[in-house]
Structure 1
Amino acid sequence: MERGRQILFHPFRLDTGNERLWRGSQVVSLRPKSLAVLRYLAEHPGRLIARKELLNAVWLDTHVSTAALKVCIREIRGALGDNPTTPQFIETRPRQGYRFIAPITPTQLVQSAKCKVQSSQSAFRFGLDLPLAMHSAFWPVGREEELGQLQRWLEKALAGERQVVFITGEPGIGKTTVGEAFLQSLESSVQSLASENHSVPPQDFQTLDPRRQTLDANLWIARGQCLEHYGVGEAYLPVLEALGQLCRELGGERLIEILDQYAPTWLAQMPALLNAADLEALQRRIQGTTRERMLREMAEAVEALTAEKPLVLVLEDLHWSDYATLDLVSFLARRRQPARLLLIGTYRPAAVLVDGHPLQAVKPELQMHKQCEEMPLGFLTEAAVAEYLAVRFPRNHFPAELARVIHRRTDGNPLFMVNVVDYVAAQELIVEVDGWWEAKAGVEAVEGGVPESLRRMVEQQIDGLSRAEQQVLEAASVAGAEFSAAAVAAGLEEEEVQVEERCEGLARRGQFLKSSGQSDWPDGTVAGRYGFIHPLYQNVLYDRVTVGRRLQLHRRIGERQEAGYKERTGGIAAELAVHFEQGRDYRRAVQYLWQAAENALRRCAYQEAINHLTKGRALLKTLPDTLERTQQELTLQVTLGAALITTKGYAAPEVEKTYARARELCQQVGETPQLFAVLWGLWVFYFVRGELQTARELGEQLLSLAQGVQDPALLLEAHVALGPTLFCLG
């Protein structure tokens, strides 16, 4: 066999030279004969292979029965997680044979990427062989130029010149697909090196930590996702997701060490990575955290991290990002220190313009100073559509007009194109005859049978599912872009196992969902985790749910997650706030909005905190006027006042208005320890404004309160307030 040749079919890589099957960085165990059967099938994709041909190819002159072949096929399916009734990789034709149906790269066999150590520059480079295999629904056809440009930016990053790149385009244009194709090529490079036992000696890197004798891998690769409904209010959500992912992977202990040394305020935001004693000690170390400190710490951590290994960080859907994440992206882009960092962000320009998103101002500012790059994705050409058809249906007799018709109907939008091809195949407008695909009723029938819009196309695909599958998907659209099967089961009031089986079936067929591992809740619930292949699918499904049923689903899902997370609900406070707000349980929505604001304040994300608190105050107005509501509003006002001081300044009119309202609420509530914080907020407002007599009166009230409870800390704060006031008065 030739060494270094591989067959890629997402998410697997068959290394024929070393006779190994890989999934990510893990070797998938297969017996030699089973591996040989898989290789033969994968080397002849789309073709029906008779049993006799397979037996002759794998067992040569040895006489064996078809039972041996069936055992191999069963083992292969188990290794791939393939369901024989709804196959994703190997299709069985009764009494005929087997067909490999998963898409692979157009060239089918790809030379494994080589890593070249360049001692003179203390850097290493990856060679990309493009295009590479992608998600089963879509090849990145027509994107060779874009992938090549990403490779050139990576080469700059490897040389120590940090790169911030924005991939932009309308929904369905392929932003995620291009990014995933690029990352998959890098991961394949790392796997090839691992399979050939290549390593990079530490002495070839001037800045490599001497405690590490070998590199576990040659790149840090991390992904973070901004979420439509609650991502805007969850400070640093995609960054923390990416960091948490890296920390839990092989070699993540080193990243935790770096965060502990350079960015302890960030490590404290991921308590699951630490034991109770270490977390308590860490929290004592980070007293007095500020926004500027968090930004500086992460920048220094990235520079320390990339001195050891380059980092490729992808942040998806920045048009749904929080303000704090954009602050960090901007801060990292502006730093002048060397860093082997490639940061890729994707977003929709139209969404940024319509919503007045801060990215609208951030990107032009960075571009003006040559601190970022933009890669807008255009529509696919007719030639790219023809290439897609050739890749997806390797043996076909399609007329050239077919690609032209599909291009004309879809305008070259990749997602629309894929769905159109799925549709015409499902409607049997294109069929397979004797191993060859052909247009059954001519191109005219294809053009006339295709829905006019992508949204209508998705609607028809949903209508083609069973009612049980539709209900699962609709409930899943309420649960979120990514969700636990347990949450969906709660919404539907069905058994978790049944719901998970439906989700798994859809994911295996590549319909609407993809598998994202498993979710483990604090109450011991373990269930499959899934996500929508594209946000458009979630949006269409969500819009299908009637208002009353949507309300019911949100409330049930929120209640189940609340019970499942027990005392750790604070970690998903923003998500719970959305579910209870949409479920019209405003009391609990306000409670979790306040917790989400507290989370944001701990991350020094003041604008996010203000947004949560402002929404909470608005929701409170819908509740009956009770003492409980008054107490909730008081808590919101006190927290809001602190956030406004930081963002607007001590003497801002909003600060006075907020604390004045809080003082009124204190009078309604009666004796409350929150009065001290309220009076202090008013004192600092009047003191900075120079209204010293009012400030003196407030300072005396603070001192009286502190003396009444004999709290040393409060006494100190009261004297700190009253002392300067008296000094200024003379």
Structure 2
Amino acid sequence: MLKFGEFRLDARNECVWRGEEMLALTPRPFAVLRYLVEHPQCLVTHDEMLEALWPETYVQPQVLRTYILELRKLLGDDPVCPRYIQTVPRRGYRFMAAVADAEEADAPASNGIVGRAAELKLLAEHLKRVRNGERATLFITGEPGIGKTALLDAFCAANGTDDGLRVARGQSIEGFAGKESLYPVREAVNEMCSADEAKARPAMQAAVRDGSASITSLCETFETLAANRPLLLIFEDIHWADRASLDLIGALARRRSRAKLMLVATYRPADLDAAHPLRQIEQDLLNNARGANGSGGSRIQELRLAPLDKESVREYLRRQLGAETLPPGLTSLVHQHSAGNALFMTAVLDHLKGQNLFRHDGAELSLRVPIGEIDLGVPDGLAGLIEFQLEKLSEEDRRLLEAGSVAGTIFPAWAVAAALELELEEIEERFAALVRRVKLVSIAGYDELPGGGRSAFYVFSHALYREALYTRLPSTRRAQWHRRVAERLRTMFAGQEENVAVEIAAHVEAGK
């Protein structure tokens, strides 16, 4: 079986597993999923898929769209920001997630991180090809704290001591893009030259000394160094990089001259607006790059890090707490509050340790209080990060999200409309624009309302964002909004109040 994210593809039984749950698929959608999973990070055109799956049968290309819709529904995939299946307009599809053999992916990693065996395997495969002179470029993407740097740390630790491999690593810094040209490139060069032989130092330092070197000369310098020995060139957080650094990354990725060069760049998609130069550079590269070796693999790929699944969180807790068996409910608590974000997971565990909630009795681990009585709130280690992200929002956007927090981690648009005393249509229009700009919330679907109407509902990307927004509300405003939501429930369900009695009671109590 092949594993991707929290799913396993079972070719023998033609089904997909999520944990112990078997998700059945009809034969044709399963065939489409299997083909995509067996060609991860590769552009699969409509014609290629139809020819491979049904060579003797005429199938209209638009039927593929129906199968893809069914697969996205099964996987819970967002077509706007996909974790699994990306649509390449007018060309085909690309399977985004890293794929590994289920047994290998589930095995505990020996490098200190959990849940990233498939991603480490993919990086290692690229490095193997680079050693044979086939250059490669990877964009590693994901939200803040998802584990991009930790993944690279583990990869470098496993391969950085290999004989002959050079590692040059630079990082962009927020606010530096307009102040110092080629900042991450300079940092990478200085790191490499400090550890490399003397002959590399003059060439590289001269190339970036005053920022006047052309992009072509910089590319040629890197390629010269990678002519005989493999070079791993890493640029982190390039959403903050200056234009010259982005142009260099784009040029290095496009060039096809033979070199033992592996270029890896990380960034946060949520920090790119429509006008960000990186968006056009990356899309151009990913849409046009195809493998030069004829195998269908691409020299340029995106590796999007998905949240850690519950089993990975359980493995992390076992290691950190030194216990094979964990208290019931602990894994679910940490996974729910971290939403699989590695940084949040670490902060939640540190917060629990700081409250002295664990009791060790020999090899037995237990909690000092019942799991249901633990109130995590916002861990101290994350309060500053979350507050910083919230402060970047406009006052109008922040007010929308604060009103949503009154209704919960998953909240309906009508509740926000009630709290702010605005029309439902206006609220949904504002949220449609907000979801496009920021990734703190996403649309989760639509609810049928009494009387035949419909209301969109949304979900916070992390429960901790909802918690931070809710706790920062002034108590009088919070109580007022709860009362308005309770009154709207009474009005909407007039004559059927018993169906929402629990919700009404909760808002009335919170509204004092």
Give TM-score scaled by structure 1 length: 0.36
1:255 to 195, 200, 204: 200
Q: Is contact 1:302-1:339 (8 Å) kept? A: no
- Displacement of 1:537: 8.4
Q: Is residue 238 of structure 1 aligned with residue 166 of structure 2?
A: no
With over 3 angstroms needed to count, the CA separation of the structure-2 counterparts of 1:424 and 1:325, relative to structure 1, is same
The letter for the 2-side match of 1:388 is Y
SS, match of residue 353 in structure 1: coil
With over 3 angstroms needed to count, the CA separation of the structure-2 counterparts of 1:407 and 1:265, relative to structure 1, is closer
Q: Is residue 393 of structure 1 aligned with residue 317 of structure 2?
A: no
- Displacement of 1:433: 3.3
What is the CA deviation profile of residues 675-711 of structure 1, one whole-angstrom value per residue up to 9, with x for unaligned ones? xxxxxxxxxxxxxxxxxxxxxxxxxxxxxxxxxxxxx
- Displacement of 1:401: 2.1
With over 3 angstroms needed to count, the CA separation of the structure-2 counterparts of 1:436 and 1:253, relative to structure 1, is farther
Q: Is residue 360 of structure 1 aligned with residue 276 of structure 2?
A: no
2:375 to 446, 449, 454: 449
The letter for the 2-side match of 1:131 is A
The letter for the 2-side match of 1:431 is R
- Displacement of 1:231: 3.2
Alignment match, 1:151: 124
Q: Is residue 299 of structure 1 aligned with residue 219 of structure 2?
A: yes
2:140 to 129, 147, 167: 167
TM alignment of 1:663-682, pairs within 5 A: none
Q: Is contact 1:380-1:413 (8 Å) kept? A: yes
- Displacement of 1:399: 2.4
- Displacement of 1:320: 0.4
Q: Is contact 1:458-1:540 (8 Å) kept? A: no
What is the CA deviation profile of residues 642-685 of structure 1, one whole-angstrom value per residue up to 9, with x for unaligned ones? xxxxxxxxxxxxxxxxxxxxxxxxxxxxxxxxxxxxxxxxxxxx
- Displacement of 1:321: 0.5
Q: Is residue 458 of structure 1 aligned with residue 382 of structure 2?
A: yes
Alignment match, 2:237: 317
Q: Is contact 2:189-2:204 (8 Å) kept? A: no
What is the CA deviation profile of residues 73-117 of structure 1, one whole-angstrom value per residue up to 9, with x for unaligned ones? xxxxxxxxxxxxxxxxxxxxxxxxxxxxxxxxxxxxxxxxxxxxx
Q: Distance in 1 between matches of 2:178 and 2:237?
A: 11
With over 3 angstroms needed to count, the CA separation of the structure-2 counterparts of 1:168 and 1:162, relative to structure 1, is same
Q: Distance in 1 between matches of 2:308 and 2:119?
A: 12
TM alignment of 1:327-726, pairs within 5 A: 327-353=247-273, 356-370=275-289, 372-395=300-323, 397-434=325-362, 436-445=364-373, 448-451=374-377, 453=378, 458-459=382-383, 536=385, 539=388
TM alignment of 1:1-80, pairs within 5 A: none
- Displacement of 1:541: 13
- Displacement of 1:160: 1.1
- Displacement of 1:245: 1.3
Q: Distance in 2 between matches of 1:538 and 1:155?
A: 42
List gaps (5 residues or longer) in structure 1. 1-128, 134-138, 191-216, 271-288, 463-535, 544-730
Q: Distance in 1 between matches of 2:370 and 2:130?
A: 50
Alignment match, 1:228: 174
- Displacement of 1:227: 0.3
Q: Is contact 1:226-1:320 (8 Å) kept? A: yes
What is the CA deviation profile of residues 411-462 of structure 1, one whole-angstrom value per residue up to 9, with x for unaligned ones? 11111111000000110112333464322223223xx3211x56x6523xx8
Q: Distance in 1 between matches of 2:177 and 2:147?
A: 21
With over 3 angstroms needed to count, the CA separation of the structure-2 counterparts of 1:232 and 1:152, relative to structure 1, is farther
* % identical aligned pairs: 32
Q: Is contact 1:380-1:412 (8 Å) kept? A: yes
Q: Distance in 1 between matches of 2:317 and 2:387?
A: 27
With over 3 angstroms needed to count, the CA separation of the structure-2 counterparts of 1:219 and 1:361, relative to structure 1, is same
- Displacement of 1:319: 0.6
Q: Is contact 1:382-1:407 (8 Å) kept? A: yes
The letter for the 1-side match of 2:254 is R
- Displacement of 1:254: 2.0
Q: Distance in 2 between matches of 1:176 and 1:436?
A: 33
Q: Distance in 1 between matches of 2:202 and 2:164?
A: 18
Q: Distance in 2 between matches of 1:341 and 1:387?
A: 34
The letter for the 1-side match of 2:180 is E
List, as ranges, runs of 4+ consecutive aligned residues in structure 1 with deviation greater than 3 Å: 257-260, 433-437, 536-543
Q: Distance in 2 between matches of 1:537 and 1:316?
A: 21
Q: Distance in 2 between matches of 1:295 and 1:418?
A: 40
Alignment match, 1:583: none
- Displacement of 1:397: 4.2
Q: Distance in 1 between matches of 2:367 and 2:178?
A: 46
| Larger relative contact order, structure 1 or 2 (CA cutoff 8 Å, min sep 6) | 2
Q: Is contact 1:410-1:416 (8 Å) kept? A: yes
SS, match of residue 307 in structure 1: coil
Give TM-score scaled by structure 2 length: 0.50
Q: Is contact 1:425-1:431 (8 Å) kept? A: no
- Displacement of 1:241: 0.7
SS, match of residue 265 in structure 2: strand
Q: Is contact 1:396-1:438 (8 Å) kept? A: no
2:165 to 219, 244, 249: 219
Larger Rg: 1
With over 3 angstroms needed to count, the CA separation of the structure-2 counterparts of 1:320 and 1:538, relative to structure 1, is farther
Alignment match, 1:326: 246
Q: Is contact 1:363-1:372 (8 Å) kept? A: no
Q: Distance in 1 between matches of 2:362 and 2:390?
A: 38
Q: Distance in 2 between matches of 1:410 and 1:241?
A: 32
What is the CA deviation profile of residues 185-226 of structure 1, one whole-angstrom value per residue up to 9, with x for unaligned ones? 112x43xxxxxxxxxxxxxxxxxxxxxxxxxx4211111010
Alignment match, 1:186: 159
With over 3 angstroms needed to count, the CA separation of the structure-2 counterparts of 1:130 and 1:247, relative to structure 1, is farther
Q: Distance in 2 between matches of 1:375 and 1:444?
A: 37
The letter for the 1-side match of 2:382 is V
Q: Is contact 2:344-2:382 (8 Å) kept? A: no
Q: Distance in 1 between matches of 2:132 and 2:328?
A: 45
Q: Is contact 2:327-2:365 (8 Å) kept? A: no
